[in-house]
Amino acid sequence: MLPGTLKTMGRAPRADFVVDAALVSRVHCRFVLNDTGALELEDLGSTNGTFVNGKKVERVTLNNGDKLTVGRVQFVVSAAAEARAAGTNTTLSS
């Protein structure tokens, strides 16, 4: 992702990251890479909430190792060491 890029996660086919699972809203949350290279997460009014490290969040900056939960699906935020230094590449894995 480039700074300013926006990506969505949800059950709908139009979401950038499709999570076809119970308790996930059609467009559940979105990710934005800010100007400093930090990955921000924002809940988009989902019915069942968005959780980071077990806490319900509306908006948060994600860090390496954070656990993101949407519905019953959990993802771990991961950044390669060289990408973290450059602030350019953060990934999610389930």
Burial state string for 27-66 with b = 16 or more CB within 10 A and e = fewer than 16: bbbbbbbeeebebebbbeebebbbbbeeeebeebebeeeb
pLDDT digits (tens, 9 = 90+) for 54-92: 999 999 999 999 999 999 999 999 876 435 445 555 556
Per-residue pLDDT, 79: 77
Mean pLDDT value across residues 24-41: 94
Per the CB < 8 A criterion, the answer to whether 69 and 46 are in contact is no
Q: In terms of pLDDT, which residue wins out, 4 or 23? A: 23
Per-residue pLDDT, 82: 39
DSSP state of 82: H
Per-residue pLDDT, 69: 98
